[in-house]
Amino acid sequence: MSEVFEPKIVAFVCTYCTYAGADLAGTSRLKYPSNVRIVRLPCTGRISPMFILKALQKGADGVLVSGCHPGDCHFDHGNYHARRRWTVFNSLLQFAGVPEERVKFSWISAAEGIKFAELIREITEDIRKIGPFEEYHKLIAETGSAAPL
Amino acid sequence: MSIQEHYRSRAKELLSSGTVKMVIGYGTGSTPDRRRPVFITSPDETDRLVLDKACRTNLSGYLLREGLLSDQKQVAVFFNLDGVRSLNILAAESQLETAQVLVLGFRIEGEEVTALQGERAADFKSLIAAAKEQRKSQPPHELQEKLEAMTPKERFSFWEAEFSRCIKCYACRQACPMCWCRRCVVDNNQPQWVNTSSHTLGNLEWNLLRAFHLAGRCVECGNCSRACPADIPLHLLNRRMSDEVQGSFDHYPGMDEAQEPVLASFRKDDPETFIL
């Protein structure tokens, strides 16, 4: 019997909205795949593109970046700044050949536990379909350091 | 009088009158088709200045050499329009005052080198505005178009092959007028964001990171590609970033010294088609 591929997904989320949304998904007893590892940050404005590269460097098959909807930021405009950065970085990743399924961006509020659970299900399935990020894992293997994730 | 003679005598005049303390320009290089920067402080040396179609390097980075502008004296620099734009960006990022920089402007079109009218960065506003319009209608770069048409997998292996040649000499960073950080993020080892040895993974990370840091700041002067000993088409990444900031945010870097940096500003109605 062949084993089902379980992708490793890292989610960088802001503490005020998406983390609270994930919390709500949990307290509401909603089911979502355990493939996601959540990293909580103060604000999407704190999420540097280097975090995304670092997650891939440590062997992630997919990355999710998520925060408050525009207008809802606890710090008023952290997510507006983040949005510009994502626009630029997303196009750079795609130009470099990172498939768009692997790095996703979303807005999830503290009330959207259902959206969180559904999104995690969806991206886990999408990444399961395209398989492990072999191209990147090959590069990691070349460096001689095993992916610790 | 040829443009070279014109600017030689202008440089002499500026230095002997004491208007500027230094002229940064081009001199003969190690091969006939190369020019190297010269830093002239005496009116007797202005004959070393060369100005022809081989003068492609953007000299604005030299203005940030430690202490050069700290005495409030002026420096004259040879600039094409890209150079003036990078001067504006450096001023917008509070790295220098344009009042301390006298522009000796020129334009290269094929074999022709012509003088640009104006002395201060602000005098070139209309020319830069015209360049912005021209950039919009510029035909796409051939290789860039080819890349965009590829599947992600093919694109990844294209860049993998390119970056595998990178030797992490950081010549791109040293040549870039926009890389003025005293301490670059790759030199940080706690945390170590980027693998420092020159295997392909670290090379990929470094070059993506640099392209990101230059998004909305790069004037596409080509210093990085010319400096790269491995001939990696770095300008393609920067070009793609310029397309993105112009397309999404209507941002053309270096319009004037009051321009807000694109990634340090925002509009509430910025596009967000890719965000779920």
pLDDT at B196: 83
Strands A62-67 and A103-107 come out as: parallel
Q: Give all domains of chain A, ordered by start, each with its CATH number.
A: 9-142 (3.40.50)
Contact check, Cβ <8 Å, B201/A142 = yes
> In 10 A of CB B4, how many CB atoms?
16
Q: Greatest CA span in chain A, whole angstroms?
A: 52
B98 phi-psi bin (left φ>0, alpha ψ -120 to 50, beta other): alpha
Spans in chain A with pLDDT lower than 70: 1-2, 146-149
pLDDT at B210: 94
How far is the C-alpha of B180 from the C-alpha of B235, rounded, in Å?
Answer: 18
Which of A57, A83, A140 shows the shortest C-beta gap to B266? Answer: A83
Query: Residue for token digits 């081009």?
Result: B26
How far is the C-alpha of B266 from the C-alpha of B244, rounded, in Å?
Answer: 15
How far is the C-alpha of B192 from the C-alpha of B212, rounded, in Å?
Answer: 17
Q: How many contacts (CB atoms, under 8 Å) link A and B?
A: 124
Q: Mapping DSSP to helix (H, G, I), strand (E, B) and coil, where does residue A51 land?
A: helix
Chain B residues within an 8 Å CB radius of A112: none
Tens digits of residue pLDDT in A89-101 = 999 999 999 999 9
Contact check, Cβ <8 Å, B274/A88 = no
B94 phi-psi bin (left φ>0, alpha ψ -120 to 50, beta other): left
Contact B114, B106 (CB under 8 A): yes
ipTM: 0.89
How far is the C-alpha of B108 from the C-alpha of B154, rounded, in Å?
Answer: 36
Which of A84, A86, A92 shows the shortest C-beta gap to B208? Answer: A92
Which of B157, B199, B272 shows the shortest C-beta gap to A142? Answer: B199
pLDDT, averaged in runs of 10, over chain B (276 residues): 88 93 93 92 92 92 92 93 94 93 92 90 92 86 87 92 93 94 88 86 92 93 92 91 91 92 89 83
pLDDT at A148: 59
- Joined tokens for residue B50: 């060369």
